[in-house]
Chains A and B, each alone.
Chain A
Amino acid sequence: MENQFEMKEGCLTIHMPRELDHHVAGQLRQEADFMIEAYHVRKLVFDFAGTEFMDSSGIGVIIGRSRNIGYFGGEAVAQNLSGRMKKIFMVSGLYKLIREE
């Protein structure tokens, strides 16, 4: 699966995959970390507009990237959360880590 990244004025937007599970988590993590380190990312946006499924493997990816961007002095936000994604965020406590924009 190809992951889509958009870089604009220090803001990296990651268009999250349709199904985010353990199977796709590894590659997404690697690509995202490469982008965060290679560019001067000050803000990280997880765009869930196209995401229909996410399990706890996806939570791991989001927590890890949010922490990494924090080390670089930046912040992470989530966008376009469907009702289902809001539920996943709620149950996992992700709202304590990143805000919805």
Chain B
Amino acid sequence: MQNKNEMTLTFDARSVNEGFARMAVAAFVAELDPTLDEISDVKTAVSEAVTNVIIHAYDNPAEKVELTCCITGKDVEIVVSDTGKGIPDIPRAMEPFYTTKPELERSGMGFAFMEAFMDEIRVSSEVGKGTKVWMRKVIGTQEG
């Protein structure tokens, strides 16, 4: 039978938790014996997804971010979700360099980074209800 393990975290949408979220996921997937590069890829993707929620989904930092990480064999699935504003135009939001917050000097690279560093990403959203980002990466496919 395949190795299976799952965890869920709920935390405030405060920027201090960006580091906490990526460290928690890195620690959780450590049992798969990932390479340093794989761990960095996962940490970067988690950081992007959580940062998006904190910057775009809510005005109130006491609102919650939910993060689920599920390991099945060598497969890591991560879901980052919120109950915030939602994304009206997902393809547009995922375009590299597109940002709704240029005044904050956002690079518009968040989704591009998630796509670059994970094997698969899916985004679903409803305006006024929230957004869910699902990402997947198979650990153990990289050399070194």
Contacts and interface: CB of A to CB of B under 8 A. Distances in A.
Interface in B40-64: 40, 43-44, 47-48, 51, 54-55
A23 to B, nearest CB: 4
A21 B47 contact: yes
Given A23-B15, A23-B16, A55 B40 contact: no
Chain A binding surface SS class: helix
A61 B105 CA distance: 7
A56 B45 CA distance: 10
A22 B54 contact: yes
B19 A56 contact: no
Interface residues of A, number: 21
Contacts of A55: 44, 47-48, 51, 113
Interface residues of B, number: 26
Contacts of A87: 37
Contact of A92 (B51, B104, B107): B107
User: Can you list the 6 inter-chain pairs with the closest CB atoms, starting with the nearest?
Assistant: A56-B109, A23-B15, A60-B107, A59-B107, A60-B105, A55-B47
Interface of B: 15-16, 18-19, 22, 36-37, 40, 43-44, 47-48, 51, 54-55, 104-110, 112-113, 116-117
10 contacts: A22-B51, A53-B44, A56-B108, A60-B104, A60-B106, A87-B37, A88-B44, A91-B112, A92-B109, A92-B113
Given A22-B54, A23-B19, A60-B104, 8 more contacts: A21-B47, A21-B51, A22-B18, A56-B48, A57-B106, A59-B107, A60-B106, A91-B112
